[in-house]
Every structure is written in structure tokens, then in C-alpha cells.
Amino acid sequence: MPATASEGLSADPRRAAGRDPRTGPRRGRGTRWTVRLRLTVLYGGLFLLSGVALLGITYVLVASSSGVRVLSTNHIPGPEALPQPPDEVTMASMQARAEADRALRLQLLLSRSAIALALMSTVSVALGWLMAGRALRPVRTMADKARRISERNLHERLAVAGPDDELKELGDTFDGLLGRLDTAFGAQKRFVANASHELRTPLTLQRAMIEVTLADPAADAATLRKLCERLLATGEEQEELIEALLTLASSQRGLEHRAPVDLADVAGDVLLGSPPGGPEVTATLRAAPVSGDARLLERLVTNLVDNARRHNVPGGWVRLTTAAVGGRLVLRVVNSGPAVDGADVDRLFQPFQRGEPRAARPEGHGLGLSIVAAIAEAHEADVKAVPRPRGGLDVTVRFPVPR
């Protein structure tokens, strides 16, 4: 049966419960006014307290001032003095009337000041409501814009206008966060696309080789054996790629356990396990004890050495150094090789980025230096790569001293 209009409106339980499926719960008008009401009460309360304090201080000052005193005419010198002073009863009566008049004036001052305070408190609450709305207007604007931003439109910004105050600083900080998120999402999408391409290419090649061999009616055992060897080599490449991806993912996740590791020992083991041939590697290994994961550190050194040997020139060289320099533990790999543009150095540390076109140098997947950067970040180390004037790279990894 077709759904009715009411059923269509309540089909999405999140929307029926007051939630937007993209941006989360919708804020009602009353909820928006909560902060405004709090600020209004705060403004009005502060004005009321200040008014009561001012009224109390004024009343105390007036009440503590000297009262009216009636002086005898005997104290007035000169011929204008009265012939006979008033008696004591008259003086007491005049003093009592003066005190009563003074008390009446104090009471009148207090009552009229209280009325004025009540009127001004009402006015202050109204003005506080208006000023709170004016002050919160940029916040509401930022909240509305932020609520509309999702992973599909991370390129949008709040772009808060106005004076250079705390609210604009907050908006600019949020825009900076959106920029970093946009960059991270873009890098993730490129990583997924590149990984999919790298994994799909050997599978397509394997399928093509199998189909060509099966379509050949004259295929014999030697042909099938050669096909199996080629499939085995392609499978090994896939295993290397998957292992590299797993290492990259585990490095970006951070370290779960740390242990004392000497970079000199790790570098020595890497050199002993290096395949023969290729550029000559010269090592100067001094003690450099760090705290980290020995397996990941070994992969870091291996990638740096392999990258230095792979991207080199005939008759080239590689220098490997470990030492403690300037309060940091340093691992340095320098190699000869083709000239590297300084603008491309940062790009080389991104996943699936190669120094040469794939057709010119097919080996490798472009993950070596990105894994180095991820492992170094997991160990709170800094990686700096500088192109050499005569070609090659000078890569330095600085580790903090273990605490």
C-alpha cells in the first residue's frame, strides 16, 4: 500500500525525533534563548547588586552625618542677642522636631531611591536582553554556518566579519580547524583512491595473464609453469604493498608499548640484512638510545636506506650516521643521486608519491618515505629532508631523549 503523508513525514525516526540526519539534533528557539536569558539575568542581577550597594552606602553616609543642633542665642555675640534665652523645655522641643524631620527625610530618601532602583533595574533588564542578543548574534551566525558544514562541503568557512575581538578569533580558529580537516579528508580520499589503484592493477594483470594462457590451445606445462612464476612474483608485490599499508596504518595509530632501543644497533642489523650490490653504504654508528618500538624503528631505517640506494646513480654512495647531537638523538641518511627539486620534498613524504615516473622506475609503491614520516611522528621525532646541491637527499630524523 502507498504510504500516507503522515507516514512519509515520520519515516525517518531521527527527523521525527527532532534530529536532522546530516547535522544532528535541531536546536529549538527556546534552547537558543537559554544563553541570552542567562546573560540578561546576569546583567540585571549585577546592576541590581550595584544599585543596592550604592543605595546602602549613600544611606549610611547621610545617616552618619551630624544631626541638626539648636544653639542658644546666648552664644550669639553682639547687641543683636535676645534679652532672654529660651528655656530648656523649648530647646528640647526644637531638638526633637529637628531629629524627627531628619528621620523623615532619611525615610523619604530611602523610599524614593528604592523606587528609582526598581525602575532602573527594569530598564537594565530590558537593555541587558537587547545587548545579550546583540552580543550573541555572531555566535548564532557561526553556529548556523557550522551546522550546515559536513564532510561534503568542508571547503566552506565561517568567514566571521567585524572587529578583531575574541569572537572573530574564535571564528578564525574554527576556520583553521576546518581547513585542516579539509586537507585530512582530501588526503584520505586520495590515499584510498591510490591504494585501490595499486591493489587493482596487479589483480587485473593476473587475470589477463590467466585468460591469455587459457585461451591458448597450444599451452603446455612449460607455459603454465611460467605463468605460475609470474603470478607468484605479482603476488609477492601485492604482499609487500599490503605489508607497507599495514605498517603505515599501525604507525599512524601511535605506539602502544615502548622499550629502550639503540638506533646504532638497529642500523647495524639493517645493514647486515641488506642485499648485496648497489651503491656502497658507509656507516658511522654511535650510541643513540631512544624509547620506542624496535620493529617500527627497524622499518624506518630500512626504508631510508632502501630509498637512498634505490634513488641513486651508478657508482653512487650512501652514508648512514647515528649519534647524540645537541640534546637530541639523530639518525641521518645522505645519498648521492639525481637532483631533487626543493618544492617536491614535502610531496615525497605523502603516500604513493614517487621521485620518478612509474614508467621510468617501476619498483616501489611510493610508501617508503610516508611510512618513515608516520613512524617518526609516532615516536615524537622530527623528520627533515634537504636536497643536496649535487643531487640526492640529506634526511635527518631527530628523536627526543627518553624521559
DSSP states along 291-357: EE-HHHHHHHHHHHHHHHHHS--TT-EEEEEEEEETTEEEEEEEE--S---GGGHHHHTSTT--SS-
- Same domain assignment for residues 266 and 327: yes
Phi then psi for 24, rounded to 5 degrees? 95, -160
- Same domain assignment for residues 121 and 214: no
Backbone angle region of 41, left / alpha / beta, with phi > 0 → left and psi within -120 to 50 → alpha:
alpha
The domain tally of the chain equals 3
- Same domain assignment for residues 375 and 279: yes
The CATH number of whichever domain residue 235 belongs to comes to 1.10.287.130
Task: Find the helix packing angle between 294-310 and 221-253, rounded to 10°.
Answer: 120
Q: Which of 350, 401, 373 is nearest to 195 (CA)?
A: 350
Residue 9, SS3 per DSSP: helix
Complete edge-to-edge strand list for the sheet that includes strand 280-285: 280-285, 317-325, 328-335, 393-399, 382-387
Residue found under cell 648497489: 278
Last residue of a domain, one of 252, 271, 289: 252
- Same domain assignment for residues 221 and 273: no
Q: Mean pLDDT over all residues of the chain?
A: 80
- Same domain assignment for residues 243 and 284: no
Measured distance CA(147)–CA(141) in Å, rounded: 10
Q: Is residue 298 domain-resident?
A: yes
- Same domain assignment for residues 269 and 365: yes
Q: What average pLDDT does range 264-271 have in this prediction?
A: 94
- Count of CB atoms situated within 10 Å of the CB of 279: 19
Phi then psi for 11, rounded to 5 degrees? -70, -35
Measured distance CA(248)–CA(182) in Å, rounded: 21
Q: Is residue 106 domain-resident?
A: yes
Q: Which three cell numbers stand for residue 173?
A: 580558529
Query: Which residues touch 216 (CB under 8 Å, ≥6 apart)?
Result: 223
Q: What average pLDDT does range 142-162 have in this prediction?
A: 80
Measured distance CA(156)–CA(178) in Å, rounded: 8
- Same domain assignment for residues 75 and 204: no
Specify the pTM. 0.58
pLDDT score at 356: 56
Q: What average pLDDT does range 326-332 have in this prediction?
A: 93
Q: What average pLDDT does range 337-364 have in this prediction?
A: 73
- Same domain assignment for residues 276 and 352: yes
Amino acid letter at 74?
Answer: N
Domain that holds residue 186: 178-252
The CATH number of whichever domain residue 393 belongs to comes to 3.30.565.10
- Same domain assignment for residues 265 and 141: no
Measured distance CA(94)–CA(392) in Å, rounded: 110
Q: Is residue 15 domain-resident?
A: no
pLDDT digits (tens, 9 = 90+) for 186-225: 777 877 777 777 778 788 888 888 988 888 888 888 888 9
pLDDT score at 254: 77
Measured distance CA(356)–CA(345) in Å, rounded: 13
pLDDT digits (tens, 9 = 90+) for 104-138: 888 888 888 888 888 888 888 888 888 877 777 77
338 in Cβ contact with 313 (< 8 Å):
yes
Q: Is residue 228 domain-resident?
A: yes
Residue found under cell 651508478: 314
Amino acid letter at 130?
Answer: L
Q: Which three cell numbers stand for residue 282?
A: 658507509
Q: Is residue 109 domain-resident?
A: yes
Measured distance CA(65)–CA(99) in Å, rounded: 12
Query: How many angstroms separate the Cα of 345 from the Cα of each of 52, 68, 86, 195?
Result: 69, 92, 109, 21
Q: Is residue 156 domain-resident?
A: no
Q: Of the given ranges (22-31, 47-56, 349-358), which has the lowest mean pLDDT? A: 22-31
- Same domain assignment for residues 331 and 221: no
Last residue of a domain, one of 104, 127, 148: 148
Measured distance CA(279)–CA(314) in Å, rounded: 7
Q: Is residue 160 domain-resident?
A: no
Residue 316 pLDDT class (50, 70, 90 cuts): very high
Last residue of a domain, one of 252, 273, 295: 252
- Same domain assignment for residues 183 and 230: yes
- Looking at the predicted structure, is the pLDDT value of residue 10 above 70? no
Q: Which residue has the higher pLDDT, 50 or 84?
A: 50
Q: What average pLDDT does range 150-171 have in this prediction?
A: 80
Q: Is residue 167 domain-resident?
A: no
158 burial via Cβ count (<10 Å: 0-12, 13-18, 19+): buried
135 in Cβ contact with 39 (< 8 Å):
yes
- Looking at the predicted structure, is the pLDDT value of residue 79 above 60? no
- Same domain assignment for residues 117 and 43: yes
Which pairs with CB-CB distance under 8 Å and at least 24 residues apart come from 183-191? 185/151, 185/154, 187/350, 190/351, 190/352, 191/351, 191/352
